[in-house]
């Protein structure tokens, strides 16, 4: 029914979300702002989390989205704990949590806690935040993790998550963090589906947003060429998605899709993606690598993540 060119409004046509509460991270630009706008315009009560609240307020005002905000810096466990404690003290529950925030292809950087920036922000920050607020997710709720086709660059490395003994590459680190986002959805879904809470990972598609702010023009051009070549192998020209098209899969997985269909799965273009083997990888325009859905890999990542953040969930 929906596909690559579907927008948030296509997906939400005729849907009334009055009475639903939604929490979205990364609402200061791009996909986060559009996701908040779309869901709130259909009646949902939305709370947004952002590192820079002034920037978020300005972006949301321009988009016409009137939502509550909480300060959250995913690159700081102290901020993660403060934000989650604030929400827990408030006590109001959520039907949907969308982990939208993230960074991509950064130079070698560390979080406030000494983690490699992309793994620490994209995965560990969300890992701690969502697990800490898990009691606020209603029975039958939904968790959506913003992953990426970038997960196909690399599996997680649980022996050296901070690149202390392996050579750092911006996209290798990005791939690890995005694989971790998918694996988190797999394990969170396994742990909480007994009460109807389902978790899915989504790839929004190729979109030009602030996520690429650390990348050079040459690097962006190289990515475009790779995507054009990959799409060309399937007989279709490459086009960047619009932001409403990019946010559509998040909204679809959160609101429209059946929980049993998307729970513990990786989705793209408003459908569940197929698994892509190593042999198929170069020619594929989409799909998910098997290691990102491996339940043993997901359980091992969970245990390592608990060790790294110093909390057991």
- pTM for the complete prediction? 0.92
Residues 6+ apart with CB under 8 A from 156: 176, 179, 180, 183, 297, 301
Domain ranges of the chain: 8-307
pLDDT tens sequence for the chain (313 residues): 899 999 999 999 999 999 999 999 999 999 999 999 999 999 999 999 999 999 999 999 999 999 999 999 999 999 999 999 999 999 999 999 999 999 999 999 999 999 999 999 999 999 999 999 999 999 999 999 999 999 999 999 999 999 999 999 999 999 999 999 999 999 999 999 999 999 999 999 888 655 555 555 565 565 556 555 555 555 566 577 999 999 999 999 999 999 999 999 999 999 999 998 766 654 446 899 999 999 999 999 999 999 999 999 9
Alpha-carbon span 283 to 32, nearest angstrom: 30
Active site residues: 174
Q: Does domain 8-307 have CATH number 3.40.50.720?
A: yes
Chain centre distance of CA 281:
22
């Amino acid at each position: 029914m929906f596909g690559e060119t579907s927008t948030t409004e296509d997906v939400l046509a005729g849907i009334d979300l009055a009475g639903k509460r939604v929490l979205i991270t990364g609402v200061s630009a791009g996909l986060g702002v559009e996701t908040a706008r779309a869901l709130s315009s259909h009646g949902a009560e939305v709370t947004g989390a952002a590192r820079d609240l002034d920037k978020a307020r300005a972006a949301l005002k321009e988009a016409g989205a009137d939502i509550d905000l909480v300060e959250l810096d995913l690159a700081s466990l102290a901020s993660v704990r403060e934000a989650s404690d604030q929400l827990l003290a408030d006590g109001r529950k959520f039907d949907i949590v969308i982990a939208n925030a993230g960074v991509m292809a950064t130079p070698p950087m560390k979080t406030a806690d000494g983690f490699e920036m992309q793994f620490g922000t994209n995965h560990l920050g969300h890992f701690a935040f969502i697990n800490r607020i898990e009691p606020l997710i209603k029975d039958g709720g939904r968790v959506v993790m913003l992953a990426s086709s970038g997960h196909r660059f690399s599996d997680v490395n649980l022996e050296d998550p901070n690149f202390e003994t392996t050579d750092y590459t911006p996209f290798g680190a990005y791939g690890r963090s995005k694989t971790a986002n998918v694996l988190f959805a797999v394990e969170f879904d396994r742990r909480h589906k007994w009460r109807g809470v389902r978790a899915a990972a989504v790839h929004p598609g190729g979109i030009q947003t602030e996520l690429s702010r650390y990348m050079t023009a040459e690097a962006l051009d190289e990515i475009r060429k790779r995507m054009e070549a990959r799409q060309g192998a399937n007989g279709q020209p490459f086009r960047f998605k619009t932001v409403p098209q990019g946010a559509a899969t998040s909204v679809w997985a959160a609101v429209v899709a059946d929980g049993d269909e998307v729970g513990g799965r990786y989705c793209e273009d408003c459908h569940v993606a197929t698994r892509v083997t190593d042999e198929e990888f170069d020619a594929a325009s989409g799909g998910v690598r098997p290691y990102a859905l491996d339940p043993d890999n997901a359980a091992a990542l969970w245990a390592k993540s608990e060790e790294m953040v110093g909390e057991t969930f």
